[in-house]
Structure 1
Amino acid sequence: MRRWTATDAAGSLRAPAAHDDKYTRGVVGVRTGSVDFPGAAVLGVEAAWRTGVGMVRYVGPARAEVLARRPETVAAPGRVNAWVIGSGTDATRRDAAETAALRELLDGDVPVVVDAGALDLVDHPAAPVVVTPHAGEFARLRDRLGLADLPPDADHADRDDAALETAERLGAAVLLKGARSVAAAPGGFIAVIADSTPWLATAGTGDVLAGVIGAVAAGSDALASAGDWGPVAATGAWLHGRAANIASSRFGLAGGPITAGDVAEALPFAVGEIVATAPVRADGPRRTAP
């Protein structure tokens, strides 16, 4: 068990260098949002851009809303380094064509961040995958996998063990969200992220988190399997929490209320802090998207 820090996070980030272009900096594909929840797509796309990638592609029903907020987004299929799926969707309202499209991503070789309405599709996927459940989603996930319920009063050790057990059974990394988030991956990786403001507990911040993790993944060269996801997921959660702290601190020493959009807008400051104070890689040239 380790507590994830800024120095740890720096190991999963890569600063742009003179030889980079928009493709080598990483391309995130975002397939999220719905007619009922277009904001989830907007927030995930915003977060991916502000975490520092070269391009974001959006494929989904919230095209107009996404482009109104972030016109630089490419609203067309194409090569990507990592996918974000499920945010702002409902599995019970997903049609057969969308299910088939999502399964194709999970059966591929491009890393996938799976949130919310796509969690039901994950079970030993071929692609390197991290799932990002909150407590309720985590309980349903464990029930689907035939694992024991985690009691509401479970202590930290039990919660950590459950996250790792779930990752091993699922064949995918797990980021169990909460005031004390736990990143676990098959093979034994486990880390705790527990330094964010309580003001982060507000609607839409999970959509932001999925976009952040997708951006970190798109900039990584080390996601060949689910076991490699641990540091990337932990780093995404750390950046998310740090951005929330930065946003909240604008309203006084004790912090103040923030929205999910505030967290997304503070992400460049969180990334910039790490670049300024910790050894961030600037290797290259790196691989382009397939």
Structure 2
Amino acid sequence: MTTGAWREWTAEDASAWLTAPTADDDKYRRGVLGVITGSPDFPGAAVLGVEAAHRTGVGMVRFTGPRAVRQAVLAARPETVAVPGRVQAWLLGSGMDADRRSFVLAGDLQHALASGEPIVLDAGGLDLVGSHSGPTVITPHARELARLLADRDIDGSVEQIEDDPAGSAARAAHELQVAVLLKGAVTHVCDPDGTRLTVTESTHWLASAGTGDVLGGIIGALAATHHERLAADATAITHLAATAAFIHSEAARRASDAWDGGPVTAMDVAGAVPRVIGGLLGR
């Protein structure tokens, strides 16, 4: 297994992976993110991920899902497109139960995985790792990673992962052959090629429901916007994931600062993303 030192991802690092639209850009050049997330039990996961993707500056979000979830997404973000068509990156799994997939949903997920486009696998889509065909990053927390490793007969209990998140993330990247973003107070982002990056939370108010869905939307949007770069260099997805984690952390800090350091909701975090990106672009 390739090893290397871990390095904290900075504002300077993140800013290098962001681009403002130019006069020649249109929605397709800015990227189209396909989103298959949420469920009738957890429609909010889809709403939050789509909201975050729009706030990150992607050209278009194309949503696929059950009618009730689709209606919730369109009510929150009417600019979302809810018919099939061109997609340049995919966000899959947030707010889903892997044990309760319908035949139609399973087919939609497999179609996305076989597309060769960049993939972000979160929560209820983590079990699909290995069936992807494009650059892929998985975004588990410790319990999700432990479950995923156990399903593959790979050692890694929740306690082991919490005691050694750096080693656990690196081992998962090696064993699963994908980029791994292991969420925590210090988020570890790594890949099988030896890239090792950390992002330290700027506020612990991020430890609340829905914030992971926001992070997934940010990563997906960045992947879609950088689809041409990813087609030439699949390892770029690791740096994009770290950039998303940095934006996510800073957005949470800004949202909390607006309440004098008080608690924030996931939607507050999504709402603060444009200011963070604007500041990074200004660098």
Range into which the TM-score falls when normalised by the shorter chain: over 0.9
Distance in 2, Cα, partners of 1:251 & 1:21: 36
SS of the equivalent of 1:83 reads: strand
What is the aligned partner in structure 1 of residue 3 from structure 2? none
CA shift for structure 1 position 191: 0.3
Contact 2:142-2:161 at 8 Å conserved across structures: no
Q: Say if 2:169 is the partner of 1:163.
A: yes
Q: Say if 2:26 is the partner of 1:21.
A: yes
What is the aligned partner in structure 2 of residue 240 from structure 1? 248
CA shift for structure 1 position 78: 1.0
TM-score, scaled relative to structure 1: 0.90
Q: Give the alignment's Cα RMSD to 1 decimal.
A: 1.6
What is the aligned partner in structure 2 of residue 175 from structure 1? 181
Q: Say if 2:135 is the partner of 1:131.
A: no
- The CA deviation string for residues 188-241 of structure 1, in whole angstroms up to 9 with x for no partner, is 111000032000111000110100000111111322465332101101111111
Distance in 2, Cα, partners of 1:154 & 1:73: 37
CA shift for structure 1 position 155: 7.1
C-alpha distance 16-98 of structure 1, shift in aligned 2 (>3 A)? same
- Give 1:109's aligned amino acid: G
SS of the equivalent of 1:48 reads: helix
What is the aligned partner in structure 1 of residue 149 from structure 2? 142
C-alpha distance 153-144 of structure 1, shift in aligned 2 (>3 A)? closer
Aligned length: 274
SS of the equivalent of 1:65 reads: helix
Q: 1:10 is matched with which residue: 12, 15, 22?
A: 15
Distance in 2, Cα, partners of 1:161 & 1:196: 23
Q: 2:92 is matched with which residue: 76, 85, 97?
A: 85
What is the aligned partner in structure 2 of residue 190 from structure 1? 196
More displaced stretch, 93-102 vs 13-22: 93-102
Distance in 1, Cα, partners of 2:218 & 2:264: 17
Q: Which runs of 5+ in 1 are unaligned?
A: 278-290
TM-score, scaled relative to structure 2: 0.92
- Give 1:177's aligned amino acid: K
- Give 2:33's aligned amino acid: V
SS of the equivalent of 2:279 reads: helix
What is the aligned partner in structure 2 of residue 71 from structure 1? 78
SS of the equivalent of 2:84 reads: coil
C-alpha distance 124-56 of structure 1, shift in aligned 2 (>3 A)? closer
From the two aligned structures, give the one with the greater helix fraction: 2
